[in-house]
Structure 1
Amino acid sequence: MSQLRSMYPPIEPYSAGTLDVGEGYRVYYERVGTPGAKPAVFLHGGPGGGLSPEHRRLFDPNRYDVMLFDQRGCGQSTPYAGLEANTTWHLVSDIERLRALAGVDKWLVFGGSWGSTLALAYAETHPDRVSELVLRGVYTVTKAELQWYYQFGVSEIFPEKWEKFQAPIPLSERGDMIAAYRSRLTGDDRATQLEAAKAWAIWEGETITLLPNPAFSTSFGDDQFALAFARLENHYFVHDCWLEDGQLLRNAHRLRGIPGAIVHGRYDMPCPARYAYALHRAWPDAAFHLVEGAGHAWSEPGILDQLVRATDRFATAP
Structure 2
Amino acid sequence: MTVDDNAQLWTMSSGPTDGPPVVLCHGGPGLWDDLGPVAAMIDSTYHAHRYDQRGCGRSTGPHNYRLDRAIADLDGLRRHWGYDRWTLFGHSWGATLVLAYAWTHPEHAHAVIYCSGTGPGTEWWAPHNAEVAKRLSTEQQQRRDELERQRRTWEEEVEFRTLCWLPGYADPSQAEAWARAAASVPFEINWRANRELWGAKPDELALAKEVTAPTLVIHGEEDPRPLANSRRLLDVLPNATLAAIPNAGHSPWTEESAAFSARLNAFLSAHR
TM-score by length of 2: 0.84
Structure 1 partner of 2:141: 162
The one-letter amino acid paired with 2:219 is H
Alpha-carbon distance change, 272 to 264 in structure 1, aligned in 2, over 3 angstroms: same
The one-letter amino acid paired with 2:133 is S
The one-letter amino acid paired with 2:260 is Q
- Whole-Å Cα distance in 2 between the matches of residues 135 and 223 of structure 1? 25
CA contact (8 A) 1:265 1:303 kept: no
Structure 2 unaligned residues grouped into runs of 5+: none
TM-fit CA distance, 1:153:
5.0
- What is the number of equivalent residue pairs in this alignment? 268
Alpha-carbon distance change, 241 to 198 in structure 1, aligned in 2, over 3 angstroms: farther
Structure 2 partner of 1:209: 169
Alpha-carbon distance change, 205 to 95 in structure 1, aligned in 2, over 3 angstroms: same
TM-fit CA distance, 1:142:
3.0
Alpha-carbon distance change, 26 to 302 in structure 1, aligned in 2, over 3 angstroms: same
TM-fit CA distance, 1:194:
5.9
Instruction: Quote the RMSD (CA, aligned, Å).
Output: 2.8
SS at match of 1:135: strand
Structure 1 unaligned residues grouped into runs of 5+: 1-18, 170-180, 185-190
Q: Deviations over 1:58-94 (max 9, x none)?
A: 3142x31222111112232125xx7x21233221111
TM-fit CA distance, 1:195:
8.0
- Whole-Å Cα distance in 1 between the matches of residues 154 and 124 of structure 2? 26
SS at match of 1:26: coil
Alpha-carbon distance change, 144 to 237 in structure 1, aligned in 2, over 3 angstroms: farther
Instruction: Give 1:1-318 correspondences, 5 Å limit.
Output: 19-52=1-34, 53-61=36-44, 63-78=45-60, 84-140=63-119, 142-149=121-128, 153-160=131-138, 161-168=140-147, 191-192=151-152, 197-198=157-158, 201-212=161-172, 213=174, 214-222=176-184, 224-225=186-187, 227-228=188-189, 231-232=190-191, 235-237=193-195, 240-244=198-202, 247-255=203-211, 257-269=212-224, 271-302=225-256, 305-315=259-269, 317-318=271-272
Q: Deviations over 1:236-291 (max 9, x none)?
A: 245534134xx012211011x4212111111111x211121111222252221122
With 139-148 and 47-56 compared, the bigger mean Cα shift is at: 139-148
Alpha-carbon distance change, 196 to 280 in structure 1, aligned in 2, over 3 angstroms: farther
SS at match of 2:252: coil
CA contact (8 A) 1:141 1:240 kept: no
TM-fit CA distance, 1:199:
5.7
The one-letter amino acid paired with 2:37 is E
CA contact (8 A) 2:23 2:87 kept: yes
TM-score by length of 1: 0.73
The one-letter amino acid paired with 1:248 is E
Q: Deviations over 1:178-216 (max 9, x none)?
A: xxx6xx7xxxxxx44868854652233211110133333
Alpha-carbon distance change, 241 to 89 in structure 1, aligned in 2, over 3 angstroms: farther
Structure 2 partner of 1:172: none
Aligned residues with identical type, % of pairs: 22
Alpha-carbon distance change, 49 to 120 in structure 1, aligned in 2, over 3 angstroms: same
CA contact (8 A) 1:136 1:264 kept: yes
